[in-house]
C-alpha cells in the first residue's frame, strides 16, 4: 500500500474512538456528575450551617443588647417632688401614653428649658406631638394639687418653669414643671425625658439624624420653629434601633427620666409600627398667640388654654370611649372658681363628651365618680378616674338630680 494511503487510514482510524474508550469516557462523565451531585447538597449544608451560626450569633447579640438596655438607667436625681405613681413609669404599648421631652440646661443651679415637646401615643392608632417655643409665656397657677406657688408672678416663659420649680418649699424641681405643663395641656403626663442641650446631637446620632433645629427662633416664625422640632423628633423616633442605642449608650446616664431606657425604646418601636398617616405633628400657629405683659412689664407672646384646646381637640380619639358614648357631667364641690372647667378640659382631651359643668349643691370633702352602669361604661370610668390622684367610684346617682351617664364631683382632696 502506498505510504499516503496508510497515513489516511491511520488518521481515519484515530478519528473514530474505540468502543472501550467511549465506555471509559461515559463512565468518567457519570462519575464527575455523581461527584457534582454529591458536592451540591454538601455545599448547601455547609452554607446552611454557616448561616445558622451567624443567625445564632446575631440573635445572641440582640438578646445581650436587650439585656444590657434593661440594666441601663437614666438619671433619677430630680424625682423627689413626684408622687410615688410617677417616680418609675413603665410603658405599655396597649395603653395610651403621654411622653414629655424637654431640652434643658443647668445654669447657676437652675434648669433652663430650651424646648418642650409633648407626644401622645394612642395604642395602634396614632401619635400626636406638639412642640412649644421656650420663650412663649404661660399663665401659672396659684395652687395645684396641694402645691403652693411662692414665686410672685402669674405668668412665666416656658423656659423659666424649672427655675420656678426650684423655688418651692419643699423643693420640687421636677414636680412643679410637670404639673404646670399637665395643667397647660390638660393631659396627664405619664413619662418625661429631660435631655441636656449639649446631648441633643448625641440623641440625634442615635437615630442617624443630622439636621438638628436651633433652639433659638432664627427664622422669626414661631410656626416654622415648631414644625422643625416636630419633624426632628419624628425622625428620631422612626430612626432609633437597638444597635444605635447600644452604640450611644454612654449618653443614657446624662438624661433625666422617670421611664426606664427599655421603656423609651419600646415607645419608639411602637411608633415605628404606626403607618405614616397616623403620625400627626400639631402646631399652635402664631396667629393663635396673644400679646401679654410679663412680670417686668414687657410685651410677650402668651399661649392660652383656648389656643391649645383648638389644636388639641380630638388629640386622642379613643375608639373605646366613642363606642361607650357616655354623657358626662362635672360638678365642682370646692370653693375654687373654675375648677370644673379645668377638669372638663382634661376629660375632653381624653375623648369624653361633657354635657354639663356646674357647681355642686354643697361642698364635698372627697372626689366621687357616679356611674349609672359600671359594666356598660367601664372603660370610660377607668380613663376618667385615672385623671385623679384619688377618686371614689359609686354605681348609681348622687342625691341631687343629674341626667348624665357619668357624674364627676370634684372634692376638696383634688
What is the pLDDT confidence band of residue 206, given thresholds at 50, 70 and 90? Answer: confident
Q: Assign 329 a pLDDT band (cuts: 50, 70, 90).
A: very high
Please check the confidence at residue 195 and state whether its pLDDT lies above 90: no
Structure-model confidence comparison of residues 34 and 176, the more confident one = 176
What are the grid coordinates assigned to 90, written together? 413603665
Place of cell 395641656: 185
**Which is higher by pLDDT, 171 or 360?**
360
Q: What per-residue confidence (pLDDT) applies to 304?
A: 81
pLDDT, average across residues 111-123: 84
Q: What is the pLDDT of residue 150?
A: 43
User: pLDDT-derived band of residue 167, with 50, 70 and 90 as boundaries?
Assistant: very low
Residue 388 half-sphere exposure toward CB, CA atoms < 13 A: 22
395, HSE (Cβ side, Cα atoms, 13 Å): 6
For the ranges 90-99, 141-150, 242-251, the lowest mean pLDDT is seen at 141-150
Q: For 89-95, what is the mean pLDDT?
A: 85
Q: Worst-scoring range by mean pLDDT, 44-48, 75-79, 244-248, 264-268?
A: 75-79
Which pLDDT band, with edges at 50, 70 and 90, does 193 fall under? Answer: confident
Model pLDDT, residue 111: 67
Identify the residue whose cell numbers are 462519575.
31
Q: What is the dihedral angle through the alpha carbons of 316, 381, 391, 123, rounded to the nearest 10 degrees? A: -40
72-81, 92-101, 266-275: which has the minimum mean pLDDT? 72-81
For the residues 64-70, what does the mean pLDDT come to? Answer: 55
Crossing angle, helix 222-239 and helix 261-272, to 10 degrees? 100
pLDDT score recorded for residue 272: 92
pLDDT for 369 beyond 90: yes
Domain 319-410 in CATH 3.40.50.300: no
* CA–CA separation, 372 and 326 (whole Å): 10
Distance between CA atoms of residues 212 and 183, nearest Å: 29
CA-based radius of gyration for the chain:
34
Identify whether the C-beta of residue 346 lies closer than 8 Å to the C-beta of residue 187. Answer: yes
Which is more confidently placed, 236 or 63?
A: 236
Flag the least confident range among 77-81, 133-137, 203-207, 395-399. Answer: 77-81
d(CA 348, CA 308): 13
Residue partners of 296: CB distance under 8 A and separation at least 6: none
Report pLDDT for 175.
Answer: 58
Residue 326 banded pLDDT, cuts 50, 70, 90: very high
Pairing label, strands 279-282, 126-132: parallel
Cα 321 from chain centroid (whole Å): 21
Q: Which residues pair with 127 in a beta bridge?
A: 121, 279
- pLDDT value, residue 76: 55
pLDDT tens for each residue of 247-280? 777 878 888 888 888 888 899 999 999 998 889 8
Distance CA(160)–CA(110), nearest Å, equals 9
**Residue 259, pLDDT score:** 86
Instruction: Judge whether residue 116 has pLDDT over 80.
Output: yes
Question: Average pLDDT of 362-379?
Answer: 93
Strands 126-132 and 110-122: antiparallel
Domain 84-312 falls under CATH 1.10.150.530: no
For the residues 132-155, what does the mean pLDDT come to? 60
Sheet containing 353-359, strands listed edge to edge, beginning at the edge strand earlier in sequence: 353-359, 327-332, 406-410, 368-371, 392-395
Does a cis peptide bond (omega within 30 degrees of 0) precede residue 28? no
* Whether the predicted pLDDT of 399 surpasses 80: yes
Cell of 366: 372627697
3-state secondary structure the chain: CCHHHHHHHHHHHHHCCCHHHHHHHHHHHHHHHHHHHHHHHHHHHHHHHHHHHHHHHHHHHHHHHHHHHHHCCCECCCCCCCCHHHHCECCCCCCCEEEEEEEEEEECCEEEEEEEEEEEEECCCEEEEEEECCCCEEECCCEECCEECCCCCCEEEHHHHHHHHHCCCCCCCCHHHHHHHHHHHCCCCCEEEEECHHHHHHHHHHCCCCCCCCCCCCCCCHHHHHHHHHHHHHHHHHHCCHHHHHHCHHHHHHCEECECHHHHHHHHHHHHCCCHHHEEEECCCHHHCEEEECCCCCEEEECCHHHHHHHHCCCCCCHHHHHHCCEEEEEECCCCCCHHHHHHHHHHHCCCEEEEEEECCCCCCCCEEEECCCCCCHHHHHHHHCCCCCCEEEECCCCCCCCCCEEEEECCCC
Amino acid at each position: 500500500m502506498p505510504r499516503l494511503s496508510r497515513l489516511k487510514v491511520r488518521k481515519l482510524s484515530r478519528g473514530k474512538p474505540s468502543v472501550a474508550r467511549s465506555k471509559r469516557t461515559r463512565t468518567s462523565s457519570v462519575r464527575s456528575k455523581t461527584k457534582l451531585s454529591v458536592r451540591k447538597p454538601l455545599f448547601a449544608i455547609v452554607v446552611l450551617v454557616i448561616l445558622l451560626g451567624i443567625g445564632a450569633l446575631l440573635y445572641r447579640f440582640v438578646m445581650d443588647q436587650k439585656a444590657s438596655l434593661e440594666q441601663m438607667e437614666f438619671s433619677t436625681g430630680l424625682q423627689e417632688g413626684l408622687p410615688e405613681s410617677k417616680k418609675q413609669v413603665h410603658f405599655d404599648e396597649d395603653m395610651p401614653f403621654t411622653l414629655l421631652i424637654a431640652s434643658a440646661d443647668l445654669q447657676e443651679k437652675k434648669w433652663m428649658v430650651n424646648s418642650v415637646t409633648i407626644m401622645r401615643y394612642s395604642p395602634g392608632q396614632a401619635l400626636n406631638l406638639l412642640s412649644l417655643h421656650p420663650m412663649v409665656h404661660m399663665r401659672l397657677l396659684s395652687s395645684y394639687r396641694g402645691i403652693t406657688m411662692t414665686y410672685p408672678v402669674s405668668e412665666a416663659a416656658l423656659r423659666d418653669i424649672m427655675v420656678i420649680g426650684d423655688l418651692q418649699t419643699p423643693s420640687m424641681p421636677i414636680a412643679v414643671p410637670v404639673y404646670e405643663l399637665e395643667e397647660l395641656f390638660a393631659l396627664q403626663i405619664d413619662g418625661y425625658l429631660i435631655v441636656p442641650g449639649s446631648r441633643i446631637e448625641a440623641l440625634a446620632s442615635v437615630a442617624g439624624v443630622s439636621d438638628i433645629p436651633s433652639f433659638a427662633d432664627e427664622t422669626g416664625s414661631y410656626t416654622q420653629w415648631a414644625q422643625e422640632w416636630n419633624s426632628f423628633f419624628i425622625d428620631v423616633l422612626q430612626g432609633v434601633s437597638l444597635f444605635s442605642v447600644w452604640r450611644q449608650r454612654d449618653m443614657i446616664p446624662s438624661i433625666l427620666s422617670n421611664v426606664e431606657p427599655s421603656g423609651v425604646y419600646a415607645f419608639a418601636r411602637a411608633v415605628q409600627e404606626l403607618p405614616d398617616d397616623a403620625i400627626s405633628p400639631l402646631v399652635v400657629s402664631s396667629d393663635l398667640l396673644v400679646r401679654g405683659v410679663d412680670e417686668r412689664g414687657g410685651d410677650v407672646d402668651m399661649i392660652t388654654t383656648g389656643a391649645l384646646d383648638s389644636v388639641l381637640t380630638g388629640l386622642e380619639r379613643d375608639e373605646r370611649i366613642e363606642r361607650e358614648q357616655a354623657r358626662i357631667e362635672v360638678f365642682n364641690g370646692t370653693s375654687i372658681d373654675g375648677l370644673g372647667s379645668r377638669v372638663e378640659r382634661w376629660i375632653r382631651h381624653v375623648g369624653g363628651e361633657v354635657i354639663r359643668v356646674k357647681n355642686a349643691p354643697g361642698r364635698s370633702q372627697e372626689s366621687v365618680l357616679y356611674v349609672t352602669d359600671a359594666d356598660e361604661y367601664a372603660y370610660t370610668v377607668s380613663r376618667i378616674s385615672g385623671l385623679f390622684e384619688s377618686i371614689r367610684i359609686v354605681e348609681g346617682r348622687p342625691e341631687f338630680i343629674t341626667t348624665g351617664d357619668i357624674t364627676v364631683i370634684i372634692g376638696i382632696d383634688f
